[in-house]
Structure 1
Amino acid sequence: MRYLFCCMDRVGDIHAALVIARALRERGHTVAFVTGPPLAPLLHREGFERLARGERDGPSFETAACANPMEMVRQVRHIESALARFPADVLVGQQLAFGVPLAAERQHLPLGVVGQLAYIFPRAQPPPPEQRDAATAHAVRLYEGLLPHYATARQTCGLPREDRAPQDTSLIGDLLLLRTVPELEEDVGSLPARVHLVGDCLGLPREEPDAALRDWLDEAAASNLPVLFARLGGATLPPSTWPAFVEALRDEPVRVLALAPQAAARTAPAHFLVRSQVPESFVLERARAVLTQPTTTAALGALTHGCPALLLLHEEAQLALEYPAVAEACVRTGAARSLTLPASGPGPVQLRETLRSLLDDPAPRARAQQLQRVFAAFDGPARAADLLEQLGSSGGPFQSPHSNR
């Protein structure tokens, strides 16, 4: 069977796709990719073909423009150009690749979608606004905010108007692979029947650190000071986040490894190490806690390594991708805490106190380690490959018993 993976440009997304693609390749299937040019070297190293956008290759599947109707149409054109050279039996998209369901519909192909850690759309017809909890309210805002853009893209692609209940949306394809486990998902039974849990499918590469980073981590271990891994490179964080973070931890008994622009190193205290890139799996194995925005990759990285997390949400970016849904799921388990940042950015005192409580309280770390064991036993890539094989055999739409979740 031939699978065409259609991937967004976030590195975490491509690694999630790769770990599933490898499982399919090991079973004798043929796999190719469509995505933007920057990911071509990684795909080449992995032995997968990247199919260009056409004779004039260029940007495609850009996360920053994922809700733009023209980006959705560009994805459709890229996929259809690729299908002319690679006649796939199944398309495999990603949650934020909103053009892929349009291409699947136009080409009458079954579609599997690699999801996030949390389900981001309404699970049923939502109640009146005054009766919605925060999670439901966010899902409705995200879904209703996206629909007009999706409708425009549908019209541009010559597809009929879609008038479905939220739980029946074509945006999740014939099969949605939700990257979580039952212990993180509050109500599996409320999910649409097309949604199935497949563990983390994280695919973080195993990379060795350079000598300077290894020495720094060894010195931290010898000092008996906890290592805080701070992922502060996100564009949606207020500019004042880094100064407040430095002030909050300037005199704290902790070693800080910060993933941030190198310019930040000029203001970093002596017990900070600033890097623009690190081997994350190696670092997470040695970290006591993680400070990050609640992307799926960051949250799953922390949980699958037994690290509690402080998740930062910018109050003016509450509709940002999967962030609020991921934060809510992680906080509910007790393995994480969240902090909503005002437009002006975080206050050093609040940030310091929240981090102290996370580092000093053994309960979040114990819960994160429990979830680490659950994820390790949940063979996600094999489950995902099983489901995609069934999808290919059935031709979609895919409906299997809830007990298989």
Structure 2
Amino acid sequence: MSELLFVTWDGGGNVPPALAIARVLQGRGHTVRFLGHESQRAALVEAGFEVEATSRTRTFDRLGDTSPLTMLRTLGDRGAGHDLLAALARRPADLVVVDCLTFGALDAARASGTPYVVLEHLHDAAYRAMLAGPLGLVVRLRRLRPSLALSRARARIVTSLPVLDPLPSDGNFVQVGPVASWSPRSQPVGAEEPAVLVSLSTFGYPGMREALQRIVDATHDLGARVVVTTGPAIEPAELAAPPTVDVRRFVPHAELMGSASLFVGHGGHGSSMAALAHDLPVVLMPMDPNADQVTVARSVQAAGAGRSVRKGASPDDLAPVLAELLADGAHRSAAAALGDAVRAMPGDVLGADAVEAALSRAPAA
């Protein structure tokens, strides 16, 4: 069996895919450990993994300062690369699995000749847009070389759905499908009492509480049961919600989606794919135009399974959209078709297969 080191960061939705793939690999007998931000240590240890010490990685907490400048500094952090090499010096690994947004660690793996794969936990189309935008510019100004690092990886493991995120025909891509938790439904979508699940990000985006309040206000006359999960970034008591709206801090999505009729989210890849895995139409309100959320929302809308709405949309703007998607229509069959596709590609298992295949693959030229 092999020694594997996963490099991650405290970004919220990027962590569950890495953990799920790591669990499969650990279950197959491989030794798996993690390197990430100190703010992640407790959760990673609780998940059953050893966590490497850091000394030069920048401090970051997704519930603290998430300004654009802080994000650029965090993702382009060379300290993560230094800590990666220090961890490997203490205890070598047969393969390193690097989060695609930890550019400092990615470049250190490339420059040192370390065998590595890249885990893309989002639409590759969104990742390409990031590299072509301000983030890519800042990373290159820091004299990191992301394009070269990507090309030299033994594989780029992409956890997206081919129909929503078609990949270029060339390159070292291995598209494994979304890592989405789901539970079988007892009844078809819409057969039970209409229910709406509203859940935005676990990341502390500016203006998210106000956006969530407008969504809650838009459900006033919807005629459906509404469950809202606020996540760690928003206190449930901060929302003004009527007694008919059940507001909770956290409930696993798979427990609620199995009896829901509609999902309202922020366009995060993980929650959006989980909703589709339950055959749910979606209304997606991206919180950050520089993240992957806009791309996810547009791809689902183009597939006919949901609608993309503005972050600043008013309750009056949102109410008819929610009513339309809660009702029957072609969007339900489109969501079900995407659900079939998600369930047919278990990203955790296929991702683990791709990691194991890369262990014996020769380094890219």
The TM-score normalised by the length of structure 2 is 0.84
Task: State the Cα distance separating 1:73 from its structure 2 match.
Answer: 1.0
Who is 1:358 aligned against?
Answer: 325
1:193-236 Cα offsets, whole Å, 9 max, x none, are 212210112357x9xxxxxxxxxxxxxx9x95411111145524
Task: State the Cα distance separating 1:22 from its structure 2 match.
Answer: 2.1
Who is 1:101 aligned against?
Answer: 106
- Aligned partner letter, 2:149: S
Who is 1:348 aligned against?
Answer: 315
Distance 1:307 1:87, change over 3 A: same
Please, which of 278, 282, 286 is the counterpart of residue 251 of structure 2? 278
Distance 1:334 1:105, change over 3 A: same
Please, which of 173, 177, 195 is the counterpart of residue 199 of structure 1? 177
- Aligned partner letter, 1:59: T
Who is 1:49 aligned against?
Answer: 50
Who is 2:93 aligned against?
Answer: 88
Provide the C-alpha distance between the structure 2 equivalents of 1:373 and 1:330, rounded to a whole number of angstroms: 14
Provide the C-alpha distance between the structure 2 equivalents of 1:240 and 1:9, rounded to a whole number of angstroms: 23
Who is 2:121 aligned against?
Answer: 116
- Aligned partner letter, 1:170: A
- State yes or no: 1:228 paired with 2:196: yes
1:333-378 Cα offsets, whole Å, 9 max, x none, are 222211123xxx2122110011111111332222222222222222
Provide the C-alpha distance between the structure 2 equivalents of 1:263 and 1:26, rounded to a whole number of angstroms: 37
- State yes or no: 1:318 paired with 2:289: yes
Please, which of 288, 302, 325 is the counterpart of residue 261 of structure 2? 288
Provide the C-alpha distance between the structure 1 equivalents of 2:253 and 2:347, rounded to a whole number of angstroms: 20
RMSD: 3.0
Task: State the Cα distance separating 1:17 from its structure 2 match.
Answer: 0.8
Task: State the Cα distance separating 1:59 from its structure 2 match.
Answer: 3.2
Distance 1:26 1:246, change over 3 A: closer
The TM-score normalised by the length of structure 1 is 0.76
Instruction: Using the aligned pairs only, state the percent identity.
Output: 27
Distance 1:235 1:147, change over 3 A: closer
**Is the 1:61–1:71 Cα contact (8 Å) retained in structure 2?**
no
Q: Determine helix, strand or coil for the equivalent of 2:205.
A: coil
Task: State the Cα distance separating 1:122 from its structure 2 match.
Answer: 7.8
- Aligned partner letter, 2:88: L
Q: Determine helix, strand or coil for the equivalent of 1:374.
A: helix
Please, which of 125, 132, 145 is the counterpart of residue 143 of structure 1? 132
- State yes or no: 1:178 paired with 2:167: no
Q: Determine helix, strand or coil for the equivalent of 1:92.
A: strand
Distance 1:372 1:266, change over 3 A: closer
Relative to its length, the structure with more helix (as a share) is 1
**Is the 1:69–1:152 Cα contact (8 Å) retained in structure 2?**
no
Task: State the Cα distance separating 1:387 from its structure 2 match.
Answer: 2.1
Who is 2:335 aligned against?
Answer: 368
- Aligned partner letter, 1:273: D
Distance 1:24 1:326, change over 3 A: same
Q: Flag the structure with larger Rg.
A: 1
Task: State the Cα distance separating 1:324 from its structure 2 match.
Answer: 1.7
Provide the C-alpha distance between the structure 1 equivalents of 2:357 and 2:338, rounded to a whole number of angstroms: 28
Task: State the Cα distance separating 1:98 from its structure 2 match.
Answer: 1.8
**Is the 1:229–1:257 Cα contact (8 Å) retained in structure 2?**
yes
Please, which of 271, 276, 285 is the counterpart of residue 298 of structure 1? 271
Who is 1:36 aligned against?
Answer: 37
**Is the 1:290–1:302 Cα contact (8 Å) retained in structure 2?**
yes
**Is the 2:181–2:274 Cα contact (8 Å) retained in structure 1?**
no
- State yes or no: 1:379 paired with 2:326: no
- State yes or no: 1:329 paired with 2:299: yes
1:358-404 Cα offsets, whole Å, 9 max, x none, are 11133222222222222222233332223222322124228xxxxxx
Provide the C-alpha distance between the structure 1 equivalents of 2:58 and 2:245, rounded to a whole number of angstroms: 38
Who is 2:186 aligned against?
Answer: none
Distance 1:393 1:85, change over 3 A: same
**Is the 2:58–2:77 Cα contact (8 Å) retained in structure 1?**
no
Q: Matched residue pairs, number?
A: 347
Distance 1:121 1:366, change over 3 A: closer
Q: Determine helix, strand or coil for the equivalent of 1:253.
A: coil
- Aligned partner letter, 1:151: R
Provide the C-alpha distance between the structure 2 equivalents of 1:59 and 1:104, rounded to a whole number of angstroms: 21
Q: Determine helix, strand or coil for the equivalent of 2:310.
A: strand
Provide the C-alpha distance between the structure 2 equivalents of 1:152 and 1:61, rounded to a whole number of angstroms: 24
Provide the C-alpha distance between the structure 1 equivalents of 2:351 and 2:327, rounded to a whole number of angstroms: 37
Who is 2:308 aligned against?
Answer: 338
Who is 2:364 aligned against?
Answer: 397
Task: State the Cα distance separating 1:61 from its structure 2 match.
Answer: 8.5
